[in-house]
Amino acid sequence: MKKVILFVLTIGFVFNLPAENIRPVRDDIGYCWNAQQMDRFMDYLKSSYTSDTNKDKQETGKRPLFIAGISPHDDYLYAGRVYYPLFKNITAREVVIFGVTHSTPRKKIGDPQNKIIFDSYDYWKGPYKNVKVSKLREFLKETLDPEMYITNNEAHRLEHSIEGMVPFLQYFNREVKITPIMVTGMPFDTMDILAGKLAAVLGSYLKENHLKVGRDIFFLISADANHYGKAFNNTVYGEDQKAHELGTARDKKIAYSFLNGEMTGEKIRGLTSELWGKTYRDYKDTVWCGKYSIPFGMLTVLHLMKKGTGKKLTGKILLYSDTYTEGVIPLKKPGFGITAPFSLKHWVGFFSTTFYSD
């Protein structure tokens, strides 16, 4: 009788266990969520990258400590070649991801401003297994000024810019943990203040847990560059080959002027002056969806470095391209696809950048 009762109690306990709180996949077309498909895709990128002797030459010499990076979040079959050189150098076991707040989640949750957005999921889906959210997230929620942030799972469920980082991160580290942070619109001075406060709390977390920036924790910023065409209300140069040349040249000039070489707060302020129009909510002459995620993420890292090691931060543009130039990666039956067309009348620019200290 005791065995029967114990069995019944055990069954009851098992069936009453709470289900894992997992953030579902948003984009199941542009990104890869199957392990075998991801392996095959990465094999293709690896062979393509190593055959590029120019990039191989750039990697000779002593390897610096990589602290942060900027990655595209466009479809893998467009931008995979641009993702690869950044992610293959991320070795930290924890990654803070600064994502965009695109129009869909922004409108759904009432277009908040001057805040960062956390989630409360325990795991995010990955191609190999579920990816655990770091305890850092709860530390931030408990320590930061409550006026700085909101917690909204719906916003994170509808936003694709962070989830696009997960398969690449997990390919190179099956045990990686993430801290997802969506960035909303805010003026530069507000952004600098909030980034400074976030950096201070991050510094406390690192000290308490005996962690080192770059070795144990990496800061990843998700952003695409110019979105060009009538669909984006952006045809400032026209819609022909010359327009494409001018548009991509403008992207490269901004990236190399403000995200390459020694980084400073004034340099990031200069970046916003190139991306923002009359107000921080407007675009100037190029439509970057990273207009908030890049400066906020970079200011956070700069403040953290200043208060921590005091070492300088240096940026290096790894690769720039766009959907029209790249076209679709010629991988037969990849298992995933593209979410938008490419042409001279509709293209998106993107680049990857790494930031390091010597």
Domains of the chain: 19-53+65-357 (3.40.830.10)
CB contact at 8 A, 200 and 50: no
Tokens of 218: 């990496």
Q: How confident is the model at residue 9 (pLDDT cuts 50, 70, 90)?
A: very low
Percentage, residues of the chain above pLDDT 70: 91
Question: What is the tens place of the pLDDT at every residue in 221-260?
Answer: 999 999 999 999 999 999 999 999 999 999 999 999 999 9
Q: How confident is the model at residue 137 (pLDDT cuts 50, 70, 90)?
A: very high
Separation of alpha carbons 239 and 228, rounded Å: 9
Q: What is the pLDDT of residue 61?
A: 58
Q: What is the pLDDT of residue 308?
A: 83
Rounded to an integer, the average pLDDT of 76-100 is 97
Neighbours of 100 (CB within 10 A): 26
Question: What is the tens place of the pLDDT at every residue in 278-294?
Answer: 999 999 999 999 999 99
Identity of the residue numbered 178: I
For tokens 């950048």, name the residue.
Answer: 353
CB contact at 8 A, 318 and 224: no
